[in-house]
Amino acid sequence: MTCQTAKPKSKPYKMADGEGLYLEITPYGTKLWRLKYRIHGKEKRISLGGYPAVSLANARKAKDDMKRDIKIGIDPVLKRLQAAQTQALSGQLDFKSMALEWHGKQMPLWKSKHANIIKHRFEKYVFPFLGSFPLADIKPLMMLSCLQKIEKTAPDLSRRMKAACSHVFKYAIATGRAESDPTYGLEAAMKKFKRGHYASISVDEFPQFLVCMANYQDRVHRQTFLALKLLLLTFVRTGELVEARWDEINFEKAMWVIPAERMKMNLPHIVPLSHQSLALLRELQALNAHRDFIFPGYYNPKKPMNKNTMLVAIKRMGYNGKMTGHGFRALALGILKEKLGYPHDIADRQLAHVPKSSVDRAYDRAQFLVQRTKMMQEYADYIDQVLKTYGDG
């Protein structure tokens, strides 16, 4: 009896071909190729399609292919299921969908502000050019063209977006929906770019800057001057300063505790307050005690003061391109080490830099707090002494 002439019976029956391959004929006349096999000690079956759509020769070829997989421990049923899932997922996802899925996975690890920035950059710089393309269709040259458009005006951002796109493709590869990362090696075709440091005056230029700042206070809004002075005394990041709230300040303990959600490394940071810093805060309290923010916005006091306000003041003092709000941090580090003789570990910890050692990171952020408290007061006193020496008295 051949496959073609096999007739249906009252019950299903099989026609064996050998090595587990057989044709099953149902009472309704349907003829189905099946393969019986054993893997990991279990007997299993898999369908190879119906006859005559799948010929005997094709059924035998499919059997041979599956036997080779079985020999190396690959289950044909699981392989087929995985292929079907991969095809379904890859068919549904273009780059935009994949990027948004990756973004959603990262959001619990990011601050909301950072998450919004990353999403905005994708929407502005990448999605209009690559968003609608299936992942498999995006080639290195397409990726490079997109990045070079960004590079024309923002070379640093082009590298950030290359890294972000690479993360998307690596996520797609890890989840079985892409086979390669088209961003790999593209830096060789991009412009050379060296990221500069924030502008900051040197330790030797510090006395002149202090005198200039003191002489400038009558020409600037009092709150702006107090912000600059407190930034000088605490050398926190500008964003951390302008977003400070009164409930973070403990006047009795002379301590400012910046909560983790406002810190760059997402860890709480303790700032010991010198007598000079406390005096500034008491003056600010007289001005803004009824506000949530220590430095409320001038036009909308329910929001913090714009940190660019301090940068504008520094420029008007004559330090455009020479000093920034962030430059106070580098300056303070230099003074603490060169003029006051503090070791790098203690000074650097006050800048809220996370130690490179995983062991050090495990310790409480209040490590060296006694030394840091003493250091912050000596630093404030040093500033007063410099002003007394180089100022008008």
Rounded to whole angstroms, how far apart are CA atoms 290 and 211?
33
Please tell me which residue in 167, 264, 315, 337 is annotated as part of the active site.
264
Asked if 125 contacts 161 with a C-beta cutoff of 8 angstroms, the reply is: yes
Q: Tell me how crowded residue 23 is: count the other CB atoms within 10 A of its CB.
A: 22
Please tell me which residue in 363, 374, 388, 390 is annotated as part of the active site.
363
Asked if 47 contacts 32 with a C-beta cutoff of 8 angstroms, the reply is: yes
Rounded to whole angstroms, how far apart are CA atoms 119 and 112?
11
**What are the beta bridge partners of residue 249?**
256
Q: Strand, helix or coil at 171? A: helix
Rounded to whole angstroms, how far apart are CA atoms 88 and 82?
10
290 is an active site residue: no
Please tell me which residue in 269, 329, 365, 372 is annotated as part of the active site.
329
353 is an active site residue: yes
Please tell me which residue in 44, 119, 167, 353 is annotated as part of the active site.
353
Please tell me which residue in 63, 96, 159, 237 is annotated as part of the active site.
237
Angle CA(364)–CA(368)–CA(374) in degrees, nearest 5? Answer: 140
Is residue 9 exposed (0-12), middle (13-18) or buried (19+ Cβ within 10 Å)? exposed
326 is an active site residue: yes
Q: What is the CA radius of gyration of the chain?
A: 34
Strands (E), the chain: 13-18, 21-25, 31-39, 42-51, 249-250, 255-258, 269-272
Q: Residue 360: in which H helix or E strand, if any? A: helix 358-361
First to last CA, the chain: 116
Asked if 242 contacts 307 with a C-beta cutoff of 8 angstroms, the reply is: yes
264 is an active site residue: yes
Please tell me which residue in 31, 229, 326, 365 is annotated as part of the active site.
326
User: Catalytic amino acids?
Assistant: 237, 264, 326, 329, 353, 363
